[in-house]
Amino acid sequence: MFNFIKYFKKTIIGILSILISIELLGLDENFSLKNIKPFELNSVEGKIYKNADLWGKNGTALIFFSNHCKVSQKFQKSISTISNIWINHGFKLLVFSPNFEKAILPDELAYTDVGDSFEEMKKRASRENYKFPYIYDGKKQIITKSLDVKITPSAYLFNKFGELTYYGRLGNHDNPNELKSSELNQAIQRIYNKNYIYSRTKVYGTSVKFEEDMKLVEKVRNRYAQESIYINYGDEKKLNFYLKQKTKYPRFFYIWSVYDNKIQTRENLINISTNYKIFRKRGLKVYTICICEEGEKEIAYEMLKKSQLSALNFYCSSREISELSKLRSSTGFKTTPFCRVLSGDGKFDYGTNGMIDKSSLKDSFLRMLSK
């Protein structure tokens, strides 16, 4: 029987999640830098920022940016360009990371190699060679809550008197590096010309995560814990199908044994499970194949269950599977565990023997899913 109420609730939740990505910011236009509560926040370059650091000679732009937000990532270059242009004209440009990172759901990390912790902010800033201050506000979220920031990326521009003159999007997310169409750059230009007319625009991006959102995270974790875990016998015909299958999505194979190092196995299975939860909505296919006999499959099952790995899990004897032997020989790995990431058409991207490096595995998935 069709459950209309359940369907209606899901539909409303879906609609609300879309609306939040395009909502019109509602901060009062009379807001001033003086309204921001006292704070001391760390930046990736090692400086501690306080309220006095918000004031620029001619004005200040406060930008809210998330490592994991794919729209924010598009504006990395334009933020640097705008900062380099206007810093010489008496303007300050400060970039804040606003997210309470523990409240970010796994599948929200499917477009980034790093999350939103302070240490991961440092990694992103170093690799991308950020020249602007990148400040962490994810713990107490003092500035984030003072400005009622709901979405990243978003910009708040103040004139030299500390008065809010613009807030909204940085520019066109379809053409983020075009300064002529950048509303933020245009607003700074107006202030420079002593035109303090207030304006605002709609924003598009990713919702900011707060500590209060941990209730939703707990619900999702409980849902993961309730997912069914199966391990089925993989005969030669079945495994040949998955090993040779051509798809438009990348495939990950993990070949292991119940006799492998238990600590290593546990860490690998948790790593795989975490990445599967992150990338499965983008189409990643994950297959684990445990080399064991019928009487040992319960041991394998318990290991998979503890790691909450709800992918396609098989067990088999290596003596029976010729294609499994080919996969092993093609990697050059003679012992379990070993893994391999293949593109949809079967091209090799990443593989290793023993402990799987977390960064290397995630980077491989991002490469494959971005093609």
pLDDT digits (tens, 9 = 90+) for 343-367: 999 899 999 999 999 999 999 999 9
What is the H or E stretch that residue 75 is in? Answer: none
Taking residues 210-224, what's their average pLDDT?
95
Q: What is the mean pLDDT of the chain?
A: 89
Gap between the Cα atoms of 41 and 57, Å rounded: 21
Whole-angstrom distance, CA of residue 137 vs CA of residue 156 = 15
pLDDT at 17 over 60: no
Chain segment 151-174, per-residue pLDDT in tens: 999 999 999 999 999 999 999 989
Query: How would residue 240 be classed by pLDDT, with cut points 50, 70 and 90?
Result: confident
Per-residue pLDDT, 239: 86
Give the pLDDT band of residue 325 (cuts 50, 70, 90). Answer: low
Statement: residue 16 has pLDDT above 50: no
What's the pLDDT band for 317 if we cut at 50, 70, 90?
A: confident
State the pLDDT at residue 81: 96
Contact present, 169 and 203 (Cβ < 8 Å): yes
Residue 187 DSSP SS3: helix
The 10 Å Cβ neighbour count of residue 154 is: 25
The pLDDT score that the predictor gives to residue 245 is 87
Residue 22 has pLDDT above 70, yes or no: no
Is the distance from CB of 155 to CB of 82 less than 8 angstroms? no
Delimiting residues of CATH 3.40.30.10 domain(s) in the chain:
4-214, 229-370
CA distances from 134 to 97, 146, 176, 217, 262 (A): 7, 18, 19, 26, 41
Write down the pTM of the prediction.
Answer: 0.86
CB-side neighbour CA atoms (13 Å) of 99? 27
Q: Please give the pLDDT value at position 26.
A: 56
* Rounded distance between C-alpha atoms, residue 336 and residue 334, angstroms: 7
Of 141, 103, 139, residue with least CA distance to 118: 139
Q: How many residues does this entry show for the chain?
A: 371
Q: Is 206 exposed, middle or buried (0-12, 13-18, 19+ CB in 10 A)?
A: buried
Provide φ and ψ at 3, rounded to 5°: -90, 95
Q: pLDDT of 67-126, one tens digit each? A: 999 999 999 999 999 999 999 999 999 999 999 999 999 999 999 999 999 999 999 999
In this structure, which topology does domain 4-214 adopt according to CATH? Answer: Glutaredoxin (3.40.30)
SS3 96: strand
Q: How far is CA 228 from the centre of its chain?
A: 25
Q: Is the pLDDT at 259 greater than 80, yes or no?
A: yes
CATH number of 229-370: 3.40.30.10
Please, are residues 60 and 164 in contact by the beta-carbon 8 Å criterion? no
Residue 7 reports pLDDT greater than 50: no
For residue 263, pLDDT beyond 90 = yes
